Amino acid sequence: RKEVEQDPGPFNVPEGATVAFNCTYSNSASQSFFWYRQDCRKEPKLLMSVYSSGNEDGRFTAQLNRASQYISLLIRDSKLSDSATYLCVVNAHGGHTGFQKLVFGTGTRLLVSP
Amino acid sequence: GAVVSQHPSRVICKSGTSVKIECRSLDFQATTMFWYRQFPKQSLMLMATSNEGSKATYEQGVEKDKFLINHASLTLSTLTVTSAHPEDSSFYICSARETSGPSYNEQFFGPGTRLTVL
């Protein structure tokens, strides 16, 4: 089983739509969680951290369910510029090294059309 | 946010040659840098954690003698792909973590290096 699993999509939505992405992780010791955005052939960029209490940043809302080991991202009022791949990322200690280690999902591709 | 640069952005080389990729933190010091590899339509996979002044820690399945990492200063880490082969063709991305300041512990990614081995 992959450490971080996401539906690869693509999700094709019209402008203005609301779309939700889900992600599950397997390591119950994971400590922090993020959503990154990656545009084609570019590096990933942090979109938002995910907190247990849920958090919102403009049109984006992220939620975490530790009991179910499940993370979600909701995008409201989709814009054309939201088209990208959204990566679910989990941070866990890197085993014996003690260093943090980011584990990336394969990403969910979003295509917003006019 | 902090800025991380990579050089070169793209490299094409012949099979059997070695390629060096540089990763620099431009406006902050990073005792820890990370090297990732991403194949098409796959997730970023951590290759190794680079620690300033000490040996890198490699992930399982990554050959340390093939992927040489040097983190000689607080702002520079290098990855050398030795005796590159076509299967090493990939998108190599580094990240650096601030060790102090408001963005402490956040990883900042470089723009990536696209390696093509002929």
Phi, psi of A58 (to 5 degrees): 65, -120
pLDDT in tens, B37-89: 999 888 899 999 988 888 899 999 999 999 999 988 889 999 999 999 999 99
Task: Please state, in angstroms and rounded to a whole number, the distance separating the CA atoms of residues B50 and B69.
Answer: 7
The rounded percent of chain B whose pLDDT value lies above 70 is: 93
B-chain residue closest to A43, CA distance: B111
**pLDDT on residue B1:** 65
Contact A94 B57 (CB under 8 A): yes
Looking at the complex, report in whole angstroms how far the Cα of residue A105 sits from the nearest Cα belonging to chain B.
Answer: 6
**pLDDT on residue B55:** 87
């959204």: which residue's tokens?
Answer: A86
Contact A44 B109 (CB under 8 A): yes
Task: Please state, in angstroms and rounded to a whole number, the distance separating the CA atoms of residues B80 and B75.
Answer: 17
**Which residue in A46, A87, A94 is closest to B106 by CB distance?**
A46
The side-by-side arrangement of strands in the sheet containing A55-57 is A4-6, A19-25, A70-75, A60-65, A55-57
Looking at the complex, report in whole angstroms how far the Cα of residue B102 sits from the nearest Cα belonging to chain A.
Answer: 15
CA distances from B46 to A40, A62, A94 (A): 19, 24, 11
pLDDT (average), residues B77-106: 86
Task: Please state, in angstroms and rounded to a whole number, the distance separating the CA atoms of residues A111 and A79.
Answer: 10
HSE of A102 in the Cβ direction (CA atoms, 13 Å)?
A: 30
DSSP, collapsed to helix, strand or coil, labels residue B88 as: helix
Contact A106 B106 (CB under 8 A): no
Contact B34 A43 (CB under 8 A): no
Contact B49 A44 (CB under 8 A): no
Indicate the pLDDT class of residue B104, thresholds 50, 70 and 90.
Answer: low
A-chain residue closest to B51, CA distance: A99
CA distances from B14 to A96, A98, B35, B88, B99 (A): 37, 38, 22, 11, 38
Q: What is the mean pLDDT of each run of 10 residues along chain A (114 residues)?
A: 90 97 91 92 91 91 94 97 96 60 92 97
